[in-house]
Amino acid sequence: MIEHESSHQSKAKTALSQYQRNCELCYFQNPSDACICECCGKKLSQRKKSSLQHTIALLITSIILYIPANLLPIMYTNYLGEITESTIVGGVVTLWGQGSYPVALIIFVASVLVPIGKILALIWLCYFVKQTKKRSSEKNQQLYRVTEFIGRWSMVDVFVVAILVALIQMGNLMSVHPGEAAIAFAGLVITTMLAANTFDSKLIWQSKD
Amino acid sequence: MSQPSQVTCHECDLLVALKPISEGQKLTCPRCRFVFTRKFPLAQEKLMAFGVSGLFFLVLSFAFPFLSFITRGSDRTIVLLDSMRSLQEFEFFSVAMLLMLTTIIIPGLVLFAVLYVLIAIKWKLRLPMLNSTAKLISYLIPWNMAEIFLIGILVSLIKITSLAQIEFGYSFYCYVLFVLCLTATLVYFDRFQLWYWIRQVEFND
Task: Please report the domains of chain A, with CATH numbers, ordered by start residue.
Answer: 1-46 (no CATH), 50-208 (1.20.140)
**What chain B residue is nearest to A37 in terms of C-alpha separation?**
B131
pLDDT for A57: 95
Q: Looking at the structure, give the CATH architecture of the domain made up of residues B41-203.
A: Up-down Bundle (1.20)
Shortest distance, CA A59 to any CA of chain B (angstroms): 18
Using a CB–CB cutoff of 8 Å, tell me whether B126 touches chain A: no
Domain boundary assignment for chain B: 1-39, 41-203
Distance CA B49, CA B26 (A): 23
Query: Tens digit of pLDDT for each residue in A169-207?
Result: 888 788 899 999 999 999 999 999 999 999 988 888 876
Helix axes A181-198, A137-150, angle to 10 degrees: 140
Interface mutation vs chain A, best among B132, B143, B156, B179, most A CBs within 10 Å: B156
Is A16 close to B13, i.e. CB distance below 8 A?
yes
Query: Do the beta carbons of residue B98 and residue A186 sit within 8 Å?
Result: yes
The predicted-structure confidence for B116-153, as pLDDT tens digits, reads as follows 999 999 998 888 888 899 999 999 999 999 999 999 99
Distance from CA of B119 to the nearest CA of A (A): 18
- Asked if the model's pLDDT at residue A143 lies above 60, the reply is yes
State percent of chain B over pLDDT 90.
51
Confidence bin at B1 (pLDDT 50/70/90): low
Least confident range from A26-40, A79-93, B90-104: namely: A26-40
Model confidence band, residue A10 (pLDDT cutoffs 50, 70, 90): very low
Chain B closest-CA separation from residue A96 CA (Å):
11
The pLDDT tens digits of the residues spanning A50-85 come to: 889 999 999 999 999 999 999 999 999 888 888 888
A99: closest chain B residue by CA: B159
B161 burial (CB, 10 Å; 0-12 / 13-18 / 19+) is exposed
Residue A8 pLDDT level (bands cut at 50, 70, 90): very low
Whole-angstrom distance between the N-terminal and C-terminal Cα of chain B? 12
Tell me the three state secondary structure of residue A152: helix
Q: Which of B87, B134, B151 sits opposite A165 (nearest CB)?
A: B87
- 3-state SS, residue B47: helix
- In angstroms, rounded to a whole number, what is the distance separating the alpha carbons of residues B28 and A3? 11
Question: Which of A3, A28, A163, A164 should we substitute to test contact with B (largest number of B Cβ atoms within 10 Å)?
Answer: A163
